[in-house]
Structure 1
Amino acid sequence: MIRFATIGTNWITEAFIEAAKKTEDFALAAVYSRTDEKAKQFAAKTGAERTFTNLEELAKSKDIDAVYIASPNSLHAEQAILLMDHGKHVLCEKPMASNTKEVKAMIDAARRNGVVLMEAMKTTLLPNFQAVREHLHKIGKIRRYFASYCQYSSRYDAFKQGTVLNAFNPAFSNGALMDIGVYCIYPMVVLFGKPNRLQASSLKLESGVDGEGTIIFTYEDMDAVVMYSKITNSYLPVEIQGEDGSILIDAIHTPTKVEIRYRDGRTEDITVPQEQPPMYYEVKEFIELIKNGKRESEVNSHEHSLLTIALMEEARKQTGIVFPADQ
């Protein structure tokens, strides 16, 4: 069994634990929170054996093998490096960190300590994303990737009333690009690699983060258009356009229906069953890496994480979105 601790007591950590418990080799050994009350409440809810309120004590614990980090983005790098320097494997929520400098430091720490570091990007490990990769050749020469993820945030209502919660606070390296734009960019990087250049635009909110934005990526013989928002909704599918047909994906963050529409009018449903909760597949991948003595995922690799954050950092630079972590 791989003995896990978790950092973060929000809904995503609950979803992670629920999914992870469906794997054979996961054991929830501890939860961490800054306050004892929250830690104990979360432990009672999730069935954790222990609680921690001191991160260094967690890092030094001999009873923990791996840690899932779901703290605010601005804390990822510092927490992950401390844990890895004490021999802990780290599964870190997306985005991996605030910027390229932090992600590089995290990768260096993983290699220095011989531990697994993986970004918890669920999309690229889901069965239907694998189906996309396997059938991509059927649509001929790829000419365009279009991905839209626009989801109105309930926290935006508070923002409009004058309360800036974490989701719209630059101190936590947040905003639309970091929170949900990453879901459009990471799969693009896995499928098509590094673009030659990008052109970004966004709406900067009064707090200093972006509420929505659009990025055009230019490749050698194709382009990619990414749209993201936390202040509007969109109901558009994702589309990969080839000269012989197009692949349509219902939702980039959690694809559950995938089909090919060929130029000659034929359609092919390439959807595969997803028998487990979405986060199950990232936990399974992470645990298998540990058990097999590997140090990084081939899909959610260090290279993919580094390239994704570099593209996001360039987009922020072009649109004037600056975090305290960048200073």
Structure 2
Amino acid sequence: MTKVRFGIVGTNSITDKILDAAKQESRFELTAVYSRTAQRANEFAKKHNIPYTFTVLEEMASSPLIDAVYIASPNSLHAPQSILFMNHGKHVLCEKPLASNANEAKIMIEASERNNVTLMEAMKPTLTPNFFSIKNNIGKIGTIRRYFSCYCQYSSRYDQLKDGILLNAFDPKLSNGSVMDIGIYTIYPMVVLFGKPKKISATGIKLTTGVDGQGAINFEYDGMNATVLYSKIADSTLPTEIQGEEGTIISDRINIINRVTLKYRNGKEAEISAPNPRHEYYYEIAEFINLTETGKRESEINSHKNSLITLEIIDEIRKQLEIIYPADSIYN
């Protein structure tokens, strides 16, 4: 069995979850961690039994100790850090969103091609058994007429913002905001299932920091419509639905799909949830390692094309909401 030696960039709660999930993947070997300070690197290394630490990113990228890197740094750093590692021949599993904008994503994809290394966006729900259950059963509901998805989760950091404290979640310098953080969960599965929309119409609330607090987006496809709602300043319990002429597929949530139901127009109902015995983050790790082992540069589901289309959509949403990031001008 081949082991893939991973380095870690980003010592946050998402990384903790990834490393917890990685315990279920025997091919994952945790080798190194990077942090800007030696103290934080050592603390994280001790917590997760990581043998090597780095405080200079270039040294980690060029190190023969690792084969791949998981990047969970702020969004604005995804592109430059990923490109650095790929230019040193390292495979990259990069947290969502893949980049600050579509232009950065194109340059990342070019780096993957030039260096013949794997690049994959760590978008977890689209690689889970329940998403494949949705995908495999979608033909049973007839002609698709609407996709609707909602992910609204009030952020505790918003309370601090109202008190005048700016944290990373609402900082445009880090390419953050509602659509980048949680809105992407409603958009990416839509792209995987239906491709690129013909038309986008966005409304939302822009916060004092210059990022979006929430959004409501309508999409036009041939023969169908799509609507997504997302927010970091309000809660919702609405499900995700794919509505067809013969029935509707309902997912309880879109970021973590626990239950999937198929309701036919004639009143019949079927539970189509798939067994899901693994950690929610396991599937993206396994997919990524499969790609590196087989010499493939991209996933068929979390593909370069799907990641690029998603960022092109988000770029248009931000344009309509007049949300600009400093990163938008870096590679232009």
Q: Shorter chain as normaliser: what TM range?
A: over 0.9
Match of residue 237, structure 1, among 239, 245, 250: 239
> CA-atom RMSD, angstroms?
0.5
Residue 313 of structure 1: how far off its partner (Å): 0.3
Question: What is the identity percentage for the equivalent residue pairs of Structure 1 and Structure 2?
Answer: 57
Q: Deviation string for 1:141-191 (max 9, x for gaps)?
A: 000000000000110110010001000000000000000000000000000
Residue 102 of structure 1 pairs with residue 104 of structure 2: yes
CA distance in 2, matches of 1:43, 1:312: 35
Query: Counterpart in 1 of 2:305?
Result: 303
Q: Which amino acid aligns with 2:51?
A: E
Q: Which amino acid aligns with 1:174?
A: N
CA distance in 2, matches of 1:102, 1:34: 23
SS in 1 for 2:297: coil
**Runs of 4+ displaced beyond 4 Å:** none
Match of residue 180, structure 2, among 173, 178, 181: 178
Residue 75 of structure 1 pairs with residue 54 of structure 2: no
CA distance in 2, matches of 1:300, 1:152: 27
Query: Counterpart in 2 of 1:142?
Result: 144
Residue 273 of structure 1: how far off its partner (Å): 1.4
Residue 21 of structure 1: how far off its partner (Å): 1.9
Q: Does the Cα contact within 8 Å between 1:142 and 1:241 map onto a contact in 2?
A: yes
CA distance in 2, matches of 1:112, 1:33: 27
Residue 47 of structure 1: how far off its partner (Å): 1.1
| Alignment TM-score, normalising by the size of structure 2 | 0.98
Residue 293 of structure 1: how far off its partner (Å): 1.2
Query: Counterpart in 2 of 1:325?
Result: 327
Residue 195 of structure 1 pairs with residue 210 of structure 2: no
Residue 216 of structure 1 pairs with residue 199 of structure 2: no
**Superposed, which structure 2 residues align to 1:242-261 within 5 Å?**
242-261=244-263
| Alignment TM-score, normalising by the size of structure 1 | 0.99
Residue 38 of structure 1 pairs with residue 47 of structure 2: no
Query: Counterpart in 2 of 1:167?
Result: 169
Q: Which amino acid aligns with 1:273?
A: P
Q: Which runs of 5+ in 2 are unaligned?
A: none
Q: Which amino acid aligns with 2:108?
A: M
Residue 295 of structure 1: how far off its partner (Å): 1.1
CA distance in 1, matches of 2:201, 2:18: 34
Residue 127 of structure 1: how far off its partner (Å): 0.5
Query: Counterpart in 2 of 1:293?
Result: 295
Q: Which runs of 5+ in 1 are unaligned?
A: none
SS in 1 for 2:82: helix
SS in 2 for 1:112: helix
Q: Does the Cα contact within 8 Å between 1:21 and 1:27 map onto a contact in 2?
A: no
CA distance in 1, matches of 2:183, 2:320: 15
Q: Deviation string for 1:212-268 (max 9, x for gaps)?
A: 001100001001000000000000011110000000000000101000010000000
Residue 24 of structure 1: how far off its partner (Å): 1.6
Query: Counterpart in 1 of 2:55?
Result: 53
SS in 2 for 1:115: coil
CA distance in 1, matches of 2:138, 2:39: 50
Across the two proteins, how many residue pairs are aligned to each other? Answer: 327
Residue 326 of structure 1: how far off its partner (Å): 1.0
Q: Which amino acid aligns with 2:176?
A: N
CA distance in 1, matches of 2:303, 2:18: 20
